[in-house]
Amino acid sequence: MRILHLIHSMDPRDGGPPEVVRQLAQVAMETGDSVEIACQDDPSESFLETLPGTVHPLGPSSGKYGHSKKLVTWLDRNAERFDGLIIHGVWQYVTLAGSRAAHGRVPYFVFVHGALDPWFKRQYPLKHAKKCLYWPLLYPVLSKASAMLFTGNQELELAKESFWPHEWRSRIVPLGIQPPGGDPFLQTEAFYSMVPAVRNRRFLLFMARIHEKKGCDLLIQAFAKLGVMHPDVHLVMAGPDQVGLQAQLEQMVAQAGLTDRVHWPGMLKGDVKQGAYLACEALVLPSHQENFGISVAECLASGKPVLISNKVEIAPMIAQDGAGLVEDDTLEGTKRLLTAWLAMSQDQRDAMSACARPCFDAHFSISMSARMLHEIVWESAGRSSEAESSRIALHSSNTEGDVHVQRDA
């Protein structure tokens, strides 16, 4: 089957959606599908070289919205080559352009990635008012899609609270990630080389964009209150500062007298990132809105527990499996997370850590996500998924797909 993933940007600094596309594409190729990625990144971007399959960088585009005649032209010429077009995100031009090119020619699907969560409506009322003006243009795009793809029932139901009307065909595609590989010792050393101050020390890890949506301000405030009572514990705040919030947070840390115990290594990648998971005691993510949580799954896959808010959609499964702690996405809730963890004995922390990888294996396999997505596209293309299953089995392998960045004119 031939699948096109369409996304505004594959820049890893944009968080979860680019990583989801990368991993879904890789696994789909391993099961015999033909997968291509079209994005609006500049063809010179180095991160494009690490992506699986054929990549079409059709940028740079115009403004944050990403209007692009080049994208429209390419889609008009190529849309019919595919059995299905999967559009990632809601509020960029790729959604409108992709739907118009695909409608009546090929099934298209919109992977929402939390973009319709009512948290944004409450937090940014002026931006929400602008989106309401745009909704009459966008809504037909969503309602005519073969399916709106949500990662769980919570995201699906919350999406109905932001805009009206909101009638569309919905499908659930639970997300996952590939388990980590590599040499744990070398990965841990790579991390300590970047953040030497935490070698042989206890530390908690924040791994996400430095953005208020992620609750990083709550974590800094909570650590400022509790850190003085636990002088042996450090905090690593790892992630890109895309909105200029880090300076304000660093000032809060300085006022609490904890500058030497809170570390800001920026965005971590590859072995350094994996080493951070392996070296930390636990991940802390008091996010206000998280339809999945890539870093949460990555930490569990590395055998470490997570301390998260109840706004992380996968929180119930983690709590049920004893692989972490869950509290409200408030300052008091974040304080309770840290207090409970810091009050645990070493045996209790070890027991929770032992539950982390089994929780990941049970719930967060990217192979399951890719299979479900394949079936959804296959059904919409009017084929028999049962007949196709034998072809998938014959072509299934563990070989990585070749990388080909196609710089389209």
- Domain ranges across the chain: 2-176+365-405, 184-363
Q: Which fold has domain 2-176+365-405?
A: Rossmann fold (3.40.50)
d(CA 210, CA 392): 40
Asked if domains 2-176+365-405 and 184-363 share a fold, the reply is yes
Q: Please report the pLDDT score of residue 53 as a whole number.
A: 86
d(CA 22, CA 294): 12
Q: Please report the pLDDT score of residue 61 as a whole number.
A: 86
Bridge partners (DSSP) of residue 86 are 5, 109
Q: CA separation (Å) from 180 to 8, 254, 278?
A: 27, 35, 11
> Domain 184-363 in CATH: superfamily?
Glycogen Phosphorylase B; (3.40.50.2000)
Q: CA separation (Å) from 258 to 22, 207, 343?
A: 38, 19, 20
- Look at the chain and count its residues: 409
The pTM (predicted TM-score) of the whole model is: 0.88
Residue ranges of the chain with per-residue pLDDT less than 70: 383-404, 407-409
- The H-or-E segment that residue 285 falls in is strand 282-285
d(CA 90, CA 76): 20
Q: How far is CA 136 from the centre of its chain?
A: 28
Cis (ω within 30 of 0) for the bond into 60?
Answer: yes
Q: Please report the pLDDT score of residue 31 as a whole number.
A: 86
Query: Three-state SS for 205?
Result: strand
- The H-or-E segment that residue 235 falls in is strand 233-238
Q: Please report the pLDDT score of residue 397 as a whole number.
A: 35
Q: Classify residue 62 by its DSSP letter.
A: B
Q: Please report the pLDDT score of residue 401 as a whole number.
A: 36
Q: Please report the pLDDT score of residue 62 as a whole number.
A: 82
Q: Please report the pLDDT score of residue 402 as a whole number.
A: 41
